Amino acid sequence: MRLTCPVCGERDRREFYYMGDAVALRRPDPEAGDAVWDDYLHNRDNPAGVTRDLWQHEGGCGAWIVVTRNTMTHEVLETALASDVKGSVG
C-alpha cells in the first residue's frame, strides 16, 4: 500500500502511522455534553466504502494527513495536510 504525502510524495505504507477517523479534527467544546463526547471519541460511521482518516507520515516528514480512501478496495482518492483541513473547518 502506498500513500501520497502532500509534502513528500508517494511513499510506502510502512512510513505511516494510522490513528483513525478524521472526525478527530472536530474536537467538541468541553461543555458539549457526554453524548457528544462519546460520539467524538468512540462511535464511528465506519463506512464500507469511502472514508476519511488520519495518518501521520511519522517515518518521513512528520506531517499529519487526512486521507480519503475506500475501505473496500484500498483505493486512495485524496490526501491533504491535516493542518490545512483543520484550518478550513475551523
Partner 1 sequence: MRIAGKGLVDRQAPVSFRFDGHTYQGFAGDTLASALLANDIRVVARSFKYHRPRGVMGAGSEEANALVTIGSGAAQDPNVRATVQEIYEGLEARPQNCWPSLTVDLLSVNDLAAPFLGAGFYYKTFMWPRAFWEKLYEPVIRRSAGLGALSHQHNPDAYEKAFAFCDLLVIGGGPAGLIAALTAARAGADVILADEDSLFGGRLNGDVETVGGMPGAEWAQSIVDELEAMPNVRLMRRTTVTGAYDQGTYGALERVAHHLADRGGQPLECFWRIVARRAILCAGAIERPIAFRNNDRPGIMTASAVRTYLNRYGVAPGRRITLFANNDDAHRTARDLVDAGVHIAAVFDSRRDVPESNAYPIYRGAEVCNTSGRRGLESVTFRTASGEDKVETDCLAVSGGWNPSLHLTCHMNGRPQWSEAIQSFVPVEGMVPGLDTAGACRGTLTTHGALQEGVAAAQVALEALGIAFDKIDIPEAEDAPYRVSPLWAVAGKGRAWLDFQNDVTVKDVKQAAKENFASVEHMKRYTTQGMSPDQGKNSNVAALAVLADATGRGIPETGTTTFRPPFVPVSIAAMGAGAQGAGFAPQRFTTSHAASVERGAPMIEAGLWYRPSYFPAPGETTWRQSCDREVNMVRNAVGVCDVSTLGKIDIQGPDAGAFLDFVYTNMFSTLKVGRTRYGLMLREDGTVMDDGTTARLGETHFVMTTTTAAAGPVMRHLEYVHQCLCPELDVSMISVTEQWAQFAVAGPQSRALLNALVDEDINDDTWPFMGCGDIIIQGVRGRLFRISFSGEHAYEIAVPSRFGNGLFRELTARAEALGGGLYGMEALNVLRIEKGFITHAEIHGRVTAFDIGMERMVSQKKDCIGKTMSERPGLNGPEREQLVGLKPIGPVKQLTAGAHLFEKGAAPTRENAQGYTTSVGFSPTLDGFLGLGFLRNGRARHGEEVMMVDHLRNLTTRCKVCDPVFFDPEGGRVRG
Partner 2 sequence: MAELLAKSPCEGLLPKEVDGLTLSEAKRATMTSLSPYRGQEAVLSDVLKTEHGMALPRPNRSAGKEGARAVWFGQRQVMLIGPDPAVSLADHAALTDQSDAWAVVLLEGEGAEDVLARLVPLDLRREHFKKGHTARSQLQHMMVSITRVGDARFQIMAFRSMAKTLVHELEIAMKGVAARRAS
Partner 3 sequence: MRFSGWKVIKEGLTGNRGWSAHWRDAQPKPEYDMVIIGGGGHGLSTAYYLAKNHGMTNIAVLEKGYLGGGNVGRNTTIVRANYFLQGNSEFYSHSLKLWEGLEEDLNYNVMHSQRGLINLFHSDGQRDAFARRGNMMVNQGDDAILLDRDGVRKHLPYLDFEQTRFPIYGGLYHPRGGTARHDAVAWGYARGASDRGVDLVQNCEVTGIDIENGVVKGVQTTRGAIRAKKVGIIVAGRSGQVAAMAGRRLPIESHILQAFVTEGLKPVIDHVISFGMGHFYISQSDKGGLVFGGDLDFYASYAQRGNLPMKEHVMEAGMTLMPMIGKAKVLRSWGGIMDMTPDGSPIIDKMEGIDGLYIDCGWNYGGFKAVPASGWCMAHLMATDRPHEVAAKYRLDRFRTGIGIMDEEGTGSQHNLH
Which residues in this chain contact partner 3 in the complex, by CB under 8 A? 1, 12-14, 18-21, 34-35, 38-39, 41-48, 51, 53, 55, 69, 71-74
75 interacts with partner 1 by CB under 8 A: yes
Residue 35 binding target from partner 1, partner 2, partner 3, none, CB below 5 to 8 Å by type? partner 3
Please report whether residue 18 would count as binding partner 2 according to CB under 8 A.
Answer: no
Residues 6+ apart with CB under 8 A from 31: none
In the list partner 2, partner 1, partner 3, none, the entry touching 88 (Cβ below 5 to 8 angstroms by class) is: none
Question: Which residue in 3, 22, 54, 63 binds partner 2 (CB under 8 A)?
Answer: 63
How far is the C-alpha of 75 from the C-alpha of 27, rounded, in Å?
A: 27
**In the block, residue with C-alpha cell 502532500:** 6
Q: Which residues contact 61 (CB under 8 A, 6 or more apart)?
A: 5, 7, 8
Separation of alpha carbons 53 and 19, rounded Å: 7
